[in-house]
Amino acid sequence: MEVSSLTKMLIMLVLVLASFTTLSLGQDNWCGKQGTRVGFYKATCPKVEHIVRKTVIGYAKNDPTVAPGLLNMFFHDCFVNGCDASILLDGPSTELTAPPNSHLRHIYKVIGIAKLMLERSCRGVVSCADILALAARDSVVLTGGRSWKVPLGRRDGLVSRASDTANLPSFTDSITVQIKKFADKGLNTQDLVTLVGGHTIGTTGCASVNYRLYNFNNTNQPDPDINQAFLPQLRALCPNGGDGLRRVALDTGSNDSFDNSYYENLKNERGVLESDAMLWKDQRTHKFVKVFLGTGEKPRLRFNKEFGRAMVKMGNIEVKTGSHGEIRKLCGRTNSELH
Ligand code: HEM
């Protein structure tokens, strides 16, 4: 045998052995420390993305609250004990019963149905946490945002407690607190400004806004940081003494469309939540808003592109892989509850 053919054979042998070693190491080692990877179900459930997308489209086309709800749900899942679908577990005092998630309860069924379809195609393979990660991405795309590849391989958590939602970021949090809560999850200030850009779609209950409109900090005056022309608009949407349940767009004029206008609104003092308005006021976050508007000192960043990047980062928060967690049979129940 010629020397070059022998060398080729040796290289082939090394490559084949290397791939066997990788396979036997299991999912933890496919993508370094994060443990998720694009194409995780390529061999075991190749239709997963198609099935999730079809389900999300089916629900979202009849109900405008579905896309923002799924995006918001993924954030609330990842920030409470990691992206492990703990938000989907059913029970008397689970995360979903807690006040920050009260507007998301009807969203559960979208993931539940996608899971049922997936169980028919590839039983016991796809985690509810991964379905939620895909559904959040699909929601962004459906409302006009740019797509990104979602690394998969999360396993589902076993625990869900309403009390754990207490540490979610709140609309009254100062920028210092917002930065700290994101940093605690491995996300920096740029990630914060990018991810809160998710408020380019969806709505908030007037209960989170009223206090800014009529008697801010016991002054009997509105929040001075609300644009004077915008104030009557907001007051009409959220009347004084109203029940707080009415809903108002987070990105006035463009809340069905995933675009840059949320940052324009912040610049024009038309941020609806106090926590959003603060992003423009505080130098630490202001500079990133300007970068998205193309008026910053640093080169312009495209929000749509950056959002996908930051979502991948958020989607890796405290992910369970390997022998941690499980692949639930039903998204609302842990497997042990089913026996
Ligand atoms: C400092 C961080 C954040 C705070 C304080 C915050 C606060 C809020 C509040 C108060 C609401 C309205 C809830 C209601 O009344 O029903 C809301 C809605 C929403 N949030 Fe956030 N949020 C933050 C970060 C994020 C992030 C990182 C995302 C996504 C990546 C996100 C996506 C959404 C969406 C899509 C909605 C609309 C939900 C709907 O229409 O059902 N938020 N947020």
76 is an active site residue? yes
- Six token digits for residue 33: 């420390």
Does 169 sit in the ligand 1 pocket, CB within 6 Å?
Answer: yes
Q: Where are the beta strands (DSSP E) in the chain?
A: 203-205, 247-249
Question: Separation of 159 CA from ligand 1 center, angstroms?
Answer: 23
Q: Of 50, 76, 103, 324, which residue is the catalytic one?
A: 76
Question: Separation of 276 CA from ligand 1 center, angstroms?
Answer: 10
Alpha carbon distance 109, 58 (integer Å)? 12
**The pLDDT value given to residue 7:** 58
Q: Does 122 have pLDDT greater than 80?
A: yes
Cβ atoms < 10 Å from Cβ of 259: 18
Segment 132-140 mean pLDDT: 98
Q: Does 30 have pLDDT greater than 50?
A: no
Q: Which atom of ligand 1 is nearest to the CA of 173?
A: 5
Does 65 sit in the ligand 1 pocket, CB within 6 Å?
Answer: yes
Per-residue pLDDT reduced to its tens digit, 93-120: 999 999 999 999 999 999 999 999 999 9
Range of lowest pLDDT (13-22, 30-39, 73-82, 249-258): 13-22
The type of residue at 134 is L
Q: Which residue's structure tokens are 């809160």? A: 196
Q: How confident is the model at residue 25 (pLDDT cuts 50, 70, 90)?
A: very low
**The pLDDT value given to residue 12:** 54
Q: Does 306 have pLDDT greater than 60?
A: yes
* pTM reported for the whole predicted model: 0.91
CATH code that applies to domain 175-314: 1.10.420.10
Pocket test for ligand 1, best of 140, 196, 254 (most atoms within 8 A of CB): 196
Q: Is 213 exposed, middle or buried (0-12, 13-18, 19+ CB in 10 A)?
A: buried
CATH code that applies to domain 48-167+316-338: 1.10.520.10
Does 262 sit in the ligand 1 pocket, CB within 6 Å?
Answer: no
Does 131 sit in the ligand 1 pocket, CB within 6 Å?
Answer: no
Strand partners, 330: 333
The full set of domain ranges for the chain reads 48-167+316-338, 175-314
Q: What is the DSSP string of 193-207?
A: HHHHGGGGS-EEEGG
Q: Which atom of ligand 1 is nearest to the CA of 203?
A: 40
Q: Which atom of ligand 1 is nearest to the CA of 171?
A: 5
Per-residue pLDDT reduced to its tens digit, 238-247: 999 988 889 9
